[in-house]
Structure 1
Amino acid sequence: MAKTKWAIDTAHSSVEFSVKHMMIARVKGSFDNFSAAIEADPTDLTTANIEFNVDAASINTRNNDRDAHLRSADFFDAEKYPSLSFKSTKIVKTDDDEYEVTGDLTIRGVTRQETFTVTFEGQGKDPWGNEKAGFSAEGKINRSDYGLTWNAALETGGVLVGDQIKISLSIEAIKEA
């Protein structure tokens, strides 16, 4: 199959993350607004071009005060850096439907190379004749690498917010006409 253009069906996709809180539990959140420009043969991602953008202000942890703090200069500084972006630079097939996708991740004006495990979940037509493809992606980054260093020490030792962020994407893409 040839490379074709795909867009994200945001109604059937999600961008989620989790981080350790108080060194004992995980707090989960998501971003509500995101988009992508994808040129790919879904059955062979090794030649794909993937550009992904996330609206930093769309962060949602189900707590308004925490979300406001995460949008502030202490964390994402969403007013100054309105988007988080990823652009693929290298894709290696590691199993039948699995890939290591490496690219440039930019958060808060800092760009670093990161690798995510991407799984091709399948492809088919919806009831209206639209060609769809499903993907999932998992990865981990260190928030301090991107200048997200705010924290508070705990009386019992350790810190309030962990450094490692687990990222999880579930993507349903729609073939562009």
Structure 2
Amino acid sequence: MTVSNWALDASHSSVDFSVRHMMIAQVKGSFNEFSASISADPQDLTTGSIQFNVELASVDTRSEDRDNHLRSADFFEVEKYPTMTFSSTNIEKVDEDEYKVTGDLSLHGVTRQETFTVTYEGTGKDPWGNEKVGFSAEGKLNRSDYGLTWNAALETGGVLVGDQIKVSLQIQAAKA
């Protein structure tokens, strides 16, 4: 294959996260609105370019009160910082289907370099003849690196919300 542009198929993709809660459990959530610009040879991402945008107001943890708190100035402050963005700067092949994708992640007015493990899941044609490609991505962010430091001390020790956020993406895209 050669480098091609790929349009994100949001209805077959997801952006999910989890964070430690009360030092005893993981709370999971998703972002329901996101977009991407992918220019790549899916079988060799090293020459590709990936831009990703997440609408932070679309956070969904299945709790309206918690979601509203996450949108507030205590966390994302979506009125001032409505999006989280990622722009790849380096893509390194690790093995046949796995890559380390490094880029600039911007969140809450802070831009830092982050690396995600990306797996090429394959290509195929849908029933209408459209060429599709699939990827999965995993990574970890420390929310304090982005100024997201709200927390509450627990009577038993520890804090209410962990610092490390686990990020998981499932991406399907159509050849543009």
Q: Please classify the TM superposition score into its range, dividing by the shorter chain length.
A: over 0.9
Mapping for residues 17-36 of structure 1, pairs under 5 Å: 17-36=17-36
Aligned to 1:136: 136
1:1-57 CA deviation, whole Å, 9 max, x = no partner? 211101110110000000000000000000000000110000000011100000000
Q: Tell me, in whole angstroms, the C-alpha distance in 2 between the residues paired with 1:25 and 1:7.
A: 36
Q: Tell me, in whole angstroms, the C-alpha distance in 2 between the residues paired with 1:5 and 1:157.
A: 50
Q: Tell me, in whole angstroms, the C-alpha distance in 1 between the residues paired with 2:93 and 2:16.
A: 24
TM, length-normalised to structure 1: 0.99
Mapping for residues 56-67 of structure 1, pairs under 5 Å: 56-67=56-67
How many pairs were matched up? 176
Aligned to 1:155: 155
State the shift of 1:83 in Å: 0.4
Q: Tell me, in whole angstroms, the C-alpha distance in 1 between the residues paired with 2:75 and 2:102.
A: 24
Q: Tell me, in whole angstroms, the C-alpha distance in 1 between the residues paired with 2:54 and 2:155.
A: 35
The aligned amino acid for 1:17 is: F
Q: Tell me, in whole angstroms, the C-alpha distance in 1 between the residues paired with 2:131 and 2:109.
A: 35
Q: Tell me, in whole angstroms, the C-alpha distance in 2 between the residues paired with 1:7 and 1:58.
A: 20
| 4+ long deviations beyond 3 Å | none
The aligned amino acid for 2:146 is: Y
1:84-139 CA deviation, whole Å, 9 max, x = no partner? 00000000000110000000000011000000000000001100111100000000
Mapping for residues 1-177 of structure 1, pairs under 5 Å: 1-176=1-176
The aligned amino acid for 1:89 is: T
Gaps of at least 5 residues in structure 2 are none
Q: Tell me, in whole angstroms, the C-alpha distance in 1 between the residues paired with 2:71 and 2:147.
A: 14
- Helix, strand or coil: the match of 1:23? coil
- Helix, strand or coil: the match of 1:95? coil
Q: Tell me, in whole angstroms, the C-alpha distance in 1 between the residues paired with 2:73 and 2:49.
A: 32
- Helix, strand or coil: the match of 2:94? strand
TM, length-normalised to structure 2: 0.99
Q: Tell me, in whole angstroms, the C-alpha distance in 2 between the residues paired with 1:73 and 1:131.
A: 42
